[in-house]
Amino acid sequence: MMKQKHYFGTDGIRGLVGEGNITPEFALKLGWAAGKVLANSEHSKVVIGKDTRISGYMFESALEAGLSAAGVDVLLLGPMPTPAIAYLTRTLHAQAGIVISASHNSFQDNGFKFFSSQGTKLSDDVEFAIEDLLDHPIKTAEPAMLGKASRVSDAAGRYIEFCKSSVGRQTDLSGMKIVLDCAHGAGYHVGPQVFTELGATVATIGAEPDGLNINQGFGATATEALQAAVLTEQADVGIALDGDADRLIMVDHRGEVVDGDELVCMIARSQQRQGTGKDSVVGTLMTNLGVEHALQQQGITLHRANVGDRYVLEMMKKTDSILGGESSGHIICLDQTTTGDAIIAALQVLVEMQQIGSSLNTLRSGVTKYPQKLINVRIQQQIDLAKNDQIMNAVKQAETQLADAGRVLLRASGTEPVIRVMVEGQDALLVDKLANELAAVIQENV
């Protein structure tokens, strides 16, 4: 049986501030344990960045103290996008990077994500090693060996130049008007500069963080403000980041939302046009079937990974793909960087719009998303769906009715006691009917 982690989830450690493991005491211990595991020389260093939550100050100080106690130097980046921290971990030749963020969650939550020296997620072995040390008392390094802390004054400038370099020096977005929604999050200062320095006219919203308003009514999970602003400003396009700027949702000039599935398809076709892409792309179990069919028409195979950018990246490496993403807007351009990056992904789309003289609305025209119905069925205890004949027979019957024009997915949630029932197909009425029937069968048999 596979060993279970006590602290790390699929995307670091996250929860409500002041409860469970999201406390200054735990952060202190986590900094020390991570320092002991990740440090590999007398001059090891770890970078720490954060989003704009008020609790970030508290956790930054606690992590810094723990790392210092382990004899590790600390480079403080301040509020920076998660992908920027991955990039700076690599370029500053640090042994690891730590992100203090709860991504798209509200300010009451926070968490800790780690990057390796290569700017990638930590391996399971390293996470297990850190967890093992968390169960031991802190043993402080000798006074002469304690770590020092310093701030990286040019962190923002380094990342801005990196983003601009991802689309080449010849890129000029002059004549393009953009509304940028920063979700009152970590991209509030670097995001506007990237697009402005490339020549675009930028109207910015959601860029006044106060420690409490991150993701509140703005950003990739709440696009209404951006949709309205695009229409008011008569902009060419809207760009929505989430709280730590690793998710991207866009809005076309009509005020219509373009999600991660569609954006991945656009970038894949752009790469194919330029001869820089590959014949495979990675999505997830939730990627819309219409997107898969659109990619097939271009000769591009969609590989499906489990939900979560960690699993998308694993599948990308397994299939030798350079592009992958989720409908939520996590988009990984491996030919440019090592993790999901909203700004990098947005630039790929903007350059394609400019190069072929097309609007975002036209770019999405080749993708017809199929109706999708998702029902969460609450359960009292875990069940092996594959061993329940009644449920499996109901699934087979639904799949027979959908034929090649749809699909069925049953998935146990990893965070709450529910079975997620998803039915997708070209016929919206049939999709709705089958989803409700399957949910009823599961309810009867659990």
Catalytic residue numbers, as ranges: 103
Could you count the other beta carbons within 10 Å of the beta carbon of residue 127? 20
DSSP-derived secondary structure letter, 387 = G
Structure tokens belonging to residue 21: 């493991």
CB 103 within 8 A of CB 112: no
Nearest-angstrom CA–CA distance, 341 and 248: 8
Phi, psi of 338 (to 5 degrees): -105, -5
Rg of the Cα trace of the chain? 23
DSSP helix/strand/coil, 90: helix
Alpha-carbon torsion, ordered 250, 255, 257, 258, to 10 deg: -50
Encode burial over 226-239: b for 16+ CB neighbours within 10 A, e otherwise: bbebbeeeebbbbb
Amino acid at 387: K
CB 242 within 8 A of CB 51: no
